[in-house]
Amino acid sequence: EPEVTQTPSHQVTQMGQEVILRCVPISNHLYFYWYRQILGQKVEFLVSFYNNEISEKSEIFDDQFSVERPDGSNFTLKIRSTKLEDSAMYFCASRLGPTNGYTFGSGTRLTVV
Amino acid sequence: AQRVTQPEKLLSVFKGAPVELKCNYSYSGSPELFWYVQYSRQRLQLLLRHISRESIKGFTADLNKGETSFHLKKPFAQEEDSAMYYCALSAQGAQKLVFGQGTRLTINP
């Protein structure tokens, strides 16, 4: 069964540093998403991406965040200058179309120290 | 605004007993409801979506628009059902999922 792949599984970074979280969605999927889950809290939507542009973003997704699909396979989330409160599990998801189910990756645990 | 509430953070039942994980939602339109499961250290996996009306691993869920609920049920719990369960909602025409806080289900032998 095809999977959404996320790398790295765990990243530790210093406050103020830039991080890039990487995702390889399922190859024929067209819609891509990032979610995050702060420890002990619910999974929260960050951003959706379709047709090479952001289609929706939450208030969490401020100017410090950006997404990119640099080639035909990768989908990245960049945090420009990390803060302690960015520490969370970040999940990538993709789906074939707007009425299909979402497939989630196994997540990247980001720890900002 | 949409909201999903899972009132139980923790739920513990014995093997063979019935299970019901509660989910209530707040949304004025026609929602699409999902249940996701996360086994220990694994990814979020789709368990059910209300439009498909399937039964997966013995679990069922019925959308009750009058009570704005989408409770997950299984008549006989198995030890391998121990996991974190998330109820989620997608609003009409929207891209994002809105998740509940999750319920950790533990099945005791």
Enumerate the residues of chain A whose CB falls inside 8 A of the CB of residue B44. 43, 91, 104
Band of residue A23 on the pLDDT scale cut at 50, 70, 90: very high
Q: How far is A1 from chain B (nearest CA, A)?
A: 12
Band of residue A99 on the pLDDT scale cut at 50, 70, 90: confident
The type of residue at B63 is L
Average pLDDT of A28-57? 94
What pLDDT score was predicted for residue B93? Answer: 74
| E-strand stretches of chain B | 3-5, 10-14, 19-21, 24-26, 32-38, 45-49, 60-61, 72-74, 83-90, 98-99, 103-108
Average pLDDT of B57-72? 92
What pLDDT score was predicted for residue B92? Answer: 78
Whether the CA torsion A57, A34, B102, B45 is positive or negative: it is positive
What pLDDT score was predicted for residue A45? Answer: 96
B37 touches A: beta carbon within 8 Å: no
Q: How far is A28 from chain B (nearest CA, A)?
A: 18
Tell whether the model's pLDDT for residue B36 goes beyond 90: yes
What pLDDT score was predicted for residue A1? Answer: 80
Average pLDDT of A94-107? 91
What pLDDT score was predicted for residue A26? Answer: 95
The three-state DSSP-derived secondary structure of B60-82 is EECCECCCCECCEEECCCCHHHC
Q: How does pLDDT run across B39-59, given as a tens digit for each residue?
A: 987 889 989 988 777 778 899
B30 touches A: beta carbon within 8 Å: no
Beta carbons of B44 and A101 less than 8 Å apart: no
What pLDDT score was predicted for residue B42? Answer: 81
